[in-house]
Chains A and B, each alone.
Chain A
Amino acid sequence: MPKYELVLLKNMAQPGYTGSLEAYRQAGGYAALEKVLKERTPADIIEEVKKSGLRGRGGAGFPTGLKWSFIPKDHKGLKYLCCNADESEPGTYKDRQLIERDPHQMLEGLAICCYAIGAERAYIYIRGEFDLGAEVLENAIQEAYRANLFGKDLFGSGVNVDVSVHRGAGAYICGEETALLESIEGKRGKPRIKPPFPAIHGLYQEPTVINNVETLANLPHIINRGAEWFASIGIGKSTGTRVFSVSGHVKRPGNYEVPMGVTLREMIYDIAGGMRGDKPLKAFIPGGASAPMMKPEHLDIPLDFESIKEAGSMLGSGGITVMEEETCIVWAAMNLMEFFHHESCGQCTPCREGSGWVLQILHRIEQGHGREGDIEQLENLCRRIEGKTVCAFGEAEVGPILSSIKHFRAEYEQHIREKCCPFHPNATLSMVH
Chain B
Amino acid sequence: MKYKALSKEAVARIEAELPKYPDRRSLTLPALRIAQEDLGYVSEPAMIDIAEILELTPIQVYDVATFYSQYNMKPVGTYLVQVCKTLSCALVGAASIVEHLQKKLGIGIGETTEDGFFTLKVVECLASCGSGPMMQINDRYYEQLTPEKVDQILSDLKEQGKSALATGPFMLPALQGQK
Question: Residues of A at under 8 Å CB distance from B?
Answer: 12-13, 15-16, 19, 78, 87-93, 95-97, 100-101, 127-132, 136, 164, 166-172, 183-189, 204, 245-249, 252-255, 285, 289, 319, 321, 323, 327, 332, 335-336, 338-339, 342-343, 345, 431-433
Q: Could you give 5 example pairs across A and B, Cβ below 8 Å?
A: A90-B124, A91-B88, A168-B29, A254-B172, A433-B123
Contact at B68–A335, with CB atoms within 8 Å?
no
Q: Which of A16, A88, A166, A253 is in CB contact (< 8 Å) with B125?
A: A88
Q: Determine if A97 and B172 form an interchain contact, defined as CB atoms under 8 angstroms apart.
A: yes
Q: Give chain A residues whose Cβ lies under 8 Å from the Cβ of B168.
A: 132
Interface contact A129-B28, CB-CB below 8 Å: no
Q: Are B129 and A91 in contact, with the CB atoms below 8 A?
A: yes
User: Which A residues are in CB contact (< 8 Å) with B124?
Assistant: 90, 172, 338-339, 342-343, 433
Q: Are A167 and B30 in contact (CB under 8 A)?
A: yes
With a cutoff of 8 Å between Cβ atoms, the chain B residues found around residue A342 in the complex are 124
Q: Is B121 a contact partner of A128 (Cβ separation < 8 A)?
A: no
> Given the complex of chains A and B, what is the CA–CA distance between A295 and B173 in angstroms?
25
Tell me whether B91 is interfacial, beta carbon within 8 Å. Answer: yes
Tell me if B146 counts as interface (CB < 8 A to partner A): no
Min distance, Cβ B80 to any Cβ of chain A, angstroms: 11
- B110 cross-chain contacts in A, Cβ below 8 A: 433
With A15-B178, A249-B92 already in contact, 7 other A-B pairs whose C-beta atoms are closer than 8 Å: A130-B127, A169-B29, A186-B29, A187-B25, A188-B63, A289-B125, A339-B124
Measured CB to CB, the closest approach of chain B to A290, in angstroms, equals 12
Determine if B140 is an interface residue (Cβ-Cβ < 8 Å): yes
By a CB distance below 8 angstroms, the chain A residues around B87 are 90-91, 248, 285, 289, 321, 332, 335-336, 339
Taking the nearest CB of chain B, how far is it from the CB of A164, in angstroms? 4
B64–A188 touching, CB < 8 Å: yes
Whether A166 lies near B29 (C-beta < 8 A) is yes
For the complex formed, measure the closest distance between the CB of B52 and the CB atoms of chain A, giving whole angstroms: 15
Assuming A168-B29, A168-B68, A339-B86, is B169 touching A248 (CB within 8 A)? no
User: In the complex, which residue of chain B has the Cβ closest to the Cβ of A206?
Assistant: B22
Contact code string B133-153 (vs A, CB < 8 Å = 1, else 0): 000100111000000000000
A431 touches B109 (CB 8 A): yes
* Complex Cα spacing A171 to B125, Å: 10
Of all A-B residue pairs in the complex, the 9 with the closest CB atoms, nearest first, are A186-B28, A253-B130, A170-B69, A169-B68, A170-B70, A131-B139, A247-B129, A247-B88, A186-B25
Known A15-B177, A15-B178, A96-B127: A185·B25 in contact at CB below 8 Å: yes
A167 x B177 contact (CB < 8 A): no
Closest residue to A93 on the B side, CB-wise? B127
Q: How far apart sit A164 and B126, CA to CA, in the bound complex (Å)?
A: 23
Task: Say how far B4's CB is from chain A's closest CB, in angstroms.
Answer: 21
Interface, chain B (partner A; CB < 8 A): 20, 22-23, 25-30, 32-33, 54, 63-64, 67-71, 85-88, 90-92, 95, 98, 109-110, 121-132, 136, 139-141, 167-173, 175, 177-178
Query: Contacts A128-B33, A431-B95 given: A253-B131 contact, CB under 8 Å?
Result: yes
Given the known interface contacts A170-B68, A186-B64, A187-B28, the answer about A431 and B122 at a Cβ–Cβ threshold of 8 Å is yes
Are B169 and A132 interface neighbours, CB within 8 A? yes
How many A-B Cβ pairs are below 8 Å? 181
Cβ B91 vs Cβ A248 within 8 A: yes
Alpha-carbon gap, A93 to B87, bound state (A)? 14
Are B129 and A90 in touch, CB under 8 angstroms?
yes
A345 to B22, CA, bound (A): 26
Contact A19 B88 (CB under 8 A): no
Residues on the B chain within 8 Å of A345, using CB: 67
A171 cross-chain contacts in B, Cβ below 8 A: 67-69
Given A92-B127, A93-B128: A188 touches B67 (CB 8 Å cut-off): yes
- A327 to B90 alpha-carbon distance, docked (Å): 11
Q: In the complex, which of the residues A96, A253, A335 contacts B170, with contact meaning CB atoms closer than 8 Å? A: A96
Tell me the nearest residue of chain A to B141, going by C-beta.
A132
Q: B178 near A101 (CB under 8 angstroms)?
A: no
How many angstroms from the CA of A335 to the CA of B124 in the assembled complex? Answer: 10
Interface pair B172/A255, CB less than 8 Å apart: yes
- With A171-B69, A245-B129 as known contacts, state yes or no: A323 contacts B91, CB within 8 Å: yes
Q: Which residue of A lies closest to B169 (CB)?
A: A100
Across the interface, do A90 and B68 meet the contact criterion of CB distance under 8 Å? no
- A129 and B167 CA atoms in complex are apart in Å by 13
The reply to whether A321 and B91 form a contact with Cβ atoms under 8 Å apart is yes
Contact B70–A129 (Cβ < 8 Å): yes
**A254–B173 CB distance below 8 A:** yes
Q: In the complex, what distance in Å separates the CA atom of A99 from the CA atom of B28?
A: 25
Cα(A130)–Cα(B167), bound, Å: 12
A393 to chain B, nearest CB (A): 14
Residues of A within 8 A of B121 (CB): 433
Q: In the complex, are the beta carbons of A335 and B127 less than 8 A apart? A: no
Question: Residues of A contacting B28 with CB < 8 Å?
Answer: 186-187
Q: Which residues of A contact B169 (CB under 8 A)?
A: 19, 100-101, 132, 136
Q: Which of B33, B86, B127 contacts A87 (CB 8 A)?
A: B127
Q: Which residue of B lies closest to A131 (CB)?
A: B139
Contact A128 B70 (CB under 8 A): yes
* CB-nearest residue of chain B to A128: B70
Q: In the complex, how many angstroms separate the beta carbon of B178 from the nearest chain A beta carbon?
A: 6
Counting chain B CB atoms within 10 Å of each CB, which of A78, A129, A167 scores highest?
A129
